[in-house]
Structure 1
Amino acid sequence: MSVNIDLEGGTCAIELNGNHSEMPIRDIVISTDDGLRASVIRSPAGDALISEDEAQVLVGAGAKDDRHNVIAD
């Protein structure tokens, strides 16, 4: 799996299991996979795990942040 963020072009491309998906950053929703305790992008190519740094870059560029904290106090 690879994630390519193009801030100048405003797109994010994902290669996942041989499938390629490219979408405008503004259409991306970043959510939390509770089982993996990680951020994910949901895309037509499938769910792509991303780092927290990648998530922050995408949110800063206009992606919707739908993550939640999975750590219970």
Structure 2
Amino acid sequence: MLKDVLDSLRAIRRPLGRPRRWPGKLHADQGYDYWACRELVRRRGMISRIARKASNPALTSAGTDKSSSGAWNG
């Protein structure tokens, strides 16, 4: 499915010069965190900004519980 989306992208128009075929970066959510998706994006010459899957979704990257945001819940 990602390949179909990338194939359907139009050229990016710029005021002068040749239009670029691909965007510079691709942002995606955790559903696309697979080696094949990252490789497909890399082969197109783009930087992949794909969110990594967490081993424990209850923990943030800092290793703290999401419910302890620092706000007082009195």
- Does 1 or 2 have the higher relative contact order (CA < 8 Å, sep 6+)? 1
Same fold by TM (over 0.5)? no
Give the TM-score band, short-chain normalised. Answer: 0.3 to 0.5
Report which of the two has the higher share of strand.
1
Q: Which has the larger radius of gyration?
A: 2
Q: TM-score, normalised by structure 2?
A: 0.37
